[in-house]
Amino acid sequence: MKKILTVIGARPQFIKASVVSKAIQEKDALTEVLLHTGQHFDANMSDVFFNQLGIPRPHYQLDIHGGNHGEMTGRMLIEIEKVLLREKPERVLVYGDTNSTLAGALAAAKLHIPVAHVEAGLRSFNMQMPEEINRILTDQMSDILFCPTDAAVANLSAEGFDKKPIQVLKVGDVMQDAAVFFARQAIPPQKFNLADKFILTTLHRAENTDNPERLTAIVDALNKIHAEIAPVVLPLHPRTRKIIQEKGLTLTANVIDPVGYFEMIWLLQHCGLVLTDSGGVQKEAYFFGKPCVTMRDQTEWIELVEVGANELVGADTQKIVDAVKRKNGQTIVDEAQLYGGGHAAVEVVRHLV
């Protein structure tokens, strides 16, 4: 039986791992060891996901969080290497583009353990994003690249990966698997009493929160949208909340605590539009048929822009407001089956076997 060691550490990775781990459990040929780095340490962003999604409790919990990128990644690298030497897996499986992703891939590569990367080939072409650095380096260290879209495969081809002795495989997006699987278990956040269609907003990207001009412009846009178009509901991470307070900005939207995945699904099901700077939430909006406006200058999910489901507006106050007015309440239909239709996890595991 082949031993797979899976490294996760952040909210989207918990969700992706939930469906792949279920598929692994159905195969007698594989056994999985789960390592949680602890990168997301807030109970609403970690423990709740394990409990709700039915992911097995991690065999290893490193509790590494905080500090600068280099410090966090270095500490993870040290501790993951210890686990790999102890467990001796046949393969390491990593997800996405976080510091946990990079540390897991690098620790494995240094020990000559093959790496498989779920969500490979994504590119924003913005090297100011730490996530872009993480995903590029992780792809370089992996010998199986599980791509969610045609665009991801094309990106890797343009970088010469089709000339390397590795597997580049379009399998679809495991996030759609999760959305399909868990949609019936959606629950409203506690004390949530908005009946009207609202604008679901997420705001956490460092390029926005750490840039005073961009953050001010976004807050101004949210206040205007909240007053003139529809109520804005913003599950806000403590770090972003602290930065807004430190900058002396006034945010009049409905700010709520970070929510669990089932609550997030409910919000996606009931909103009129998604306004975000997240990567994954752009897709989740599409999975639930909602238009999306993205407060970034680039996106990894260019196919959503091409089919008109998503619009990039950067951090320009007026562009944000105009796009929300234009797209709010539209219905998005997944006619093109851009992300595999909910069968990606089975494909991932089939190739791992």
Active site residues: 204
Q: Buried b vs exposed e over 152-181: b needs ≥16 C-beta within 10 Å?
A: bbebbeeeebeeeebebbbbbbbbbbbbeb
CA dist., res. 288 & res. 265, Å (int) = 8
Q: Which two tokens stand for residue 227?
A: 């007053």
Give, in order, the Cα–Cα distances in Å from 228 to each of 198, 214, 231, 256. 12, 21, 9, 20
CA dist., res. 182 & res. 163, Å (int) = 39
Q: Which amino acid is at 342?
A: G
* Residue 326 CB contacts under 8 Å (≥ 6 apart), including other chains: none
Q: Cα-atom radius of gyration of the chain, to the nearest Å?
A: 20
CA dist., res. 109 & res. 91, Å (int) = 10
H/E stretch holding 158 reads helix 150-158
Question: Is residue 76 within 8 Å of residue 82, measured between CB atoms?
Answer: no
Query: Sheet harboring 30-36: ordered strands across?
Result: 60-61, 30-36, 2-8, 91-95, 115-118, 144-147, 167-170
Give, in order, the Cα–Cα distances in Å from 161 to each of 107, 165, 170, 300. 21, 8, 14, 18
